[in-house]
Amino acid sequence: MQLGLIKALYTDQLTKVYNYGEAENLFYITLQWLEKKSKTAVILGQDTLLVDTYQLVLEELLLGKPIQYLTHEAPFYGLSLYVDERVLIPRPETEQLVHWIIHDNPEFNGSVMDIGTGSGCIPVALAKHWPEAILSGCDISADALVVAEKNANDQEVDVTFIQKDILSQELDDYDIIISNPPYIGKSEMHDMHQNVLNNEPHLALFVSDSDPLIFYKRILQLAKQQKTTCYFETSELYRDELDLWLDTENLDYIWQLDFQKKNRMLKVRF
């Protein structure tokens, strides 16, 4: 069967779930994954012998499974990282956070801890740019740390990963602390895309509505003792609440907008 017909099938079916551009992109990601071919192969009218495989992938996509969990690949800051259902899929906003950190500290050789490291995407990416730095990541999930270790090994970088519950355990001293902690209130679940709710780990996403800032408060409490600079990813929904708390604590902070012009990145200096 011609690849063009497979593409037509994908876009016809997937536009029931995604917009056309997203559906088309999912086909091209599948094409690259299964056959290491690009759009040119479709334009040239090439055939495929993997019709059944394409159909199986399409069925998974129609169920809302993220393509990254099928290919086990996620691009992040110039790297191709391994991901599966044990970790969140790295987002472009987190790449922007990494870019901000590197821009602030172009030649860094101190110590760094990424709290709630998940796939390890942040310290692994930083290790590529800071070969002299001492990089670490922690997570409450032992399963997530297996993925993080794999990414560090695959990318041939030196990152130390440890299991830790940051809400109940202490932290060694670090020069920089980074965190993209759970910050989505459970009451916001109904606003989220089903493919996220049904596939990505809730432990890394959701926090109690009773205190959605609990991770930020705890991490900044630890950082204050160490006089550490902190970088966070957060939700624009908590900007006012965070500002009020940060001002009450007399903390020095600055916000930076993400790609969508939302207040999603926060730096706190001690």
How far apart are alpha carbons 87 and 186 in whole angstroms? 19
CA distances from 52 to 45, 57, 108, 113, 185 (A): 19, 9, 50, 45, 41
Query: What's the whole-model pTM score?
Result: 0.88
pLDDT at 189: 59
In a domain, 185, yes or no: yes
In a domain, 168, yes or no: yes
CA-atom Rg of the chain in angstroms: 20
pLDDT at 201: 66
pLDDT of 202 strictly over 90: no
Around Cβ 172, how many Cβ atoms within 10 Å? Answer: 10
Average predicted confidence (pLDDT) for the chain: 91
Residues 193 and 100 placed together within one structural domain of the fold: yes
How far apart are alpha carbons 250 and 245 in whole angstroms? 9
* Per-residue pLDDT tens over the stretch 74-103: 999 999 999 999 999 999 999 999 999 999
| Single-letter amino acid, residue 141 | S
Residues 20 and 117 placed together within one structural domain of the fold: no
How far apart are alpha carbons 153 and 166 in whole angstroms? 25
In a domain, 17, yes or no: yes
Residues 135 and 209 placed together within one structural domain of the fold: yes
* Per-residue pLDDT tens over the stretch 13-59: 999 989 999 999 999 999 999 999 999 999 999 999 999 999 999 99
In a domain, 98, yes or no: yes
For the chain, the domain total comes to 2
Residues 125 and 174 placed together within one structural domain of the fold: yes
Residues 89 and 164 placed together within one structural domain of the fold: yes
Residues 131 and 250 placed together within one structural domain of the fold: yes
Residues 127 and 8 placed together within one structural domain of the fold: no
pLDDT of 252 strictly over 70: yes
Residues 59 and 106 placed together within one structural domain of the fold: no
In a domain, 47, yes or no: yes
Return all residues near 256 (Cβ < 8 A) that are at least 6 apart: 100, 263, 265, 266, 267
CATH number of the domain enclosing 147: 3.40.50.150
pLDDT at 130: 97
* Per-residue pLDDT tens over the stretch 99-148: 999 999 999 999 999 999 999 999 999 999 999 999 999 999 999 999 99
Residues 243 and 127 placed together within one structural domain of the fold: yes
Residues 91 and 9 placed together within one structural domain of the fold: no
pLDDT of 246 strictly over 80: yes
Residues 34 and 149 placed together within one structural domain of the fold: no
pLDDT of 187 strictly over 60: no
pLDDT of 194 strictly over 80: no
In a domain, 72, yes or no: no
pLDDT at 206: 60
In a domain, 261, yes or no: yes
Structural domain of 35: 3-63
pLDDT at 237: 82
In a domain, 119, yes or no: yes
Residues 96 and 132 placed together within one structural domain of the fold: yes
